[in-house]
């Protein structure tokens, strides 16, 4: 192979609101970085396709929202943010749980309702969580994660060391949630307080089964913050997402206040597994995107453009990952289901002893006179 790094042209990937300059138009990527990106995204794709198959085999029940088609968004965000940055998202959360400390077996195991799942088999598709890795969950209520993300940004600013860049928070939500009142209120607060907050709209063009031109009077979601700066990113190009998110992180982490980021992406499946995804859009539209804008295929073409991997090496890697994913699925199927006593674990406090259970060292009531502090 010719080189250990390669420069890629990503011009035309961005649109700006209230910015004079934006992310760079070229990006330098090493072979190791790009190969890792490809393996990560292909693992995401195979995991979600497996979820589709297992759902149809009735091994996964209930709600199930798949992410295939949007892999560049999650992979690019993870590559740009630091592990200490806080991340919260909607119920389409499988691959984000994978990005933030989970394994394929733990994600699939959660969908199977197994005790070894990401949230011990008690959360299912929509409620994966990993506080240790600063992943604050998938949330089932549309838009409800955004105020949580704003609170995480407040905490990051509160705990920041003077003179140093702040850890940031990001809340991902779909175009269907973009006009939620709680998002407007949260953004207003974040702007008043200059919180290190990224409001990330994953615009896959359909709020459930309703196209954006029918459910929103504003289609330029990155401009919805009004005075808050915005950035629109080609969410099918992972290299554009990485550079765009680095730009966003640096901006909000420096104390400039929040930013709106709109990822232009597309989901291949329906809104959930109960939605065939073809009653409000035709198969030709889906196939056109798969053929012309697929994020995984784009990375494969980048690998070959840079002479990092040959077509045969890519096929061998895909074959290996397919086997690895299937092995992880079989592993998850072997796990036991949670014991009955686990129903209340992590939900109710075990006792009022300090640090034993879910209570913090103090409980703040409506006024100071009613507040009390545990003796420690």
Domains of the chain plus CATH, in order, are 5-345 (3.40.50.970), 348-376 (no CATH)
User: Structure tokens of 350?
Assistant: 């075990």
- Kindly report each contact of residues 353-361 with a partner whose C-beta sits within 8 Å and lies 24 or more positions away, as own/partner: none
More confident residue, 350 or 342: 342
Q: Which residues contact 13 (CB under 8 A, 6 or more apart)?
A: 23, 25, 233, 234, 237, 240, 243, 244
pLDDT tens digits, one per residue of 228-284: 999 999 999 999 999 999 999 999 999 999 999 999 999 999 999 999 998 999 999
Q: How many CA atoms lie within 13 A of 296 on its CB side?
A: 19
**Residue 376: what pLDDT?**
40
pLDDT tops 90 at residue 350: no
The pTM for the full model equals 0.91
User: Structure tokens of 61?
Assistant: 């029940």
pLDDT tops 70 at residue 47: yes
Residue with tokens 């690895």: 324
User: Structure tokens of 147?
Assistant: 């105020």
What band does 374 get if pLDDT is binned at 50, 70 and 90? very low
Residue 221: which of 239, 235, 208, 236 has the closest Cα? Answer: 235
pLDDT tops 60 at residue 359: no
């Amino acid at each position: 192979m010719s080189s250990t790094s390669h420069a890629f042209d990503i011009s035309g990937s961005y649109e700006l609101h209230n910015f004079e300059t934006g992310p760079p138009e070229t990006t330098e990527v090493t072979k190791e970085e790009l190969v890792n990106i490809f393996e990560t995204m292909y693992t995401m794709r195979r995991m979600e396709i497996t979820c589709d198959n297992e759902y149809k085999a009735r091994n996964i029940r209930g709600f199930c929202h798949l992410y295939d088609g949007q892999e560049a968004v999650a992979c690019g965000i993870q590559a740009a943010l630091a592990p200490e940055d806080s991340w919260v998202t909607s119920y389409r959360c499988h691959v984000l749980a994978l990005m933030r400390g989970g394994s394929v077996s733990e994600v699939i195991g959660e969908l199977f309702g197994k005790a070894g799942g990401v949230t011990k088999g008690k959360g299912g598709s929509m409620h994966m969580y990993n506080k240790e890795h600063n992943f604050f969950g998938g949330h089932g209520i549309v838009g409800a994660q955004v105020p949580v993300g704003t609170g995480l940004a407040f905490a990051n600013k509160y705990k920041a060391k003077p003179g140093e860049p702040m850890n940031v928070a990001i809340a991902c939500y779909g175009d269907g949630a973009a006009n939620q009142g709680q998002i407007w209120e949260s953004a207003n607060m974040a702007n008043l307080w200059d919180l290190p907050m990224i409001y990330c709209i994953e615009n896959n063009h359909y709020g459930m089964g309703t196209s954006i031109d029918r459910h929103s009077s504003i289609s330029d979601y990155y401009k919805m913050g009004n005075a808050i700066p915005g950035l629109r990113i080609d969410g099918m190009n992972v290299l554009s997402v990485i550079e765009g998110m680095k730009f966003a992180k640096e901006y909000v982490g420096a104390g400039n206040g929040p930013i709106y980021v709109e990822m232009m992406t597309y989901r291949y499946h329906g809104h959930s597994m109960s939605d065939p995804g073809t009653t409000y859009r035709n198969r030709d539209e889906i196939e056109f995107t798969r053929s012309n804008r697929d994020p995984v295929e784009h990375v494969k073409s980048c690998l070959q453009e840079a002479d990092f991997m040959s077509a045969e090496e890519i096929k061998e890697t895909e074959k290996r990952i397919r086997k690895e994913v299937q092995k992880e699925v079989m592993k998850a199927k072997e796990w036991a289901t949670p014991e009955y006593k686990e129903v209340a674990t992590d939900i109710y406090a075990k006792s009022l002893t300090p640090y034993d259970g879910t209570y913090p060292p103090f409980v703040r009531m409506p006024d100071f006179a009613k507040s009390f502090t545990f003796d420690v």
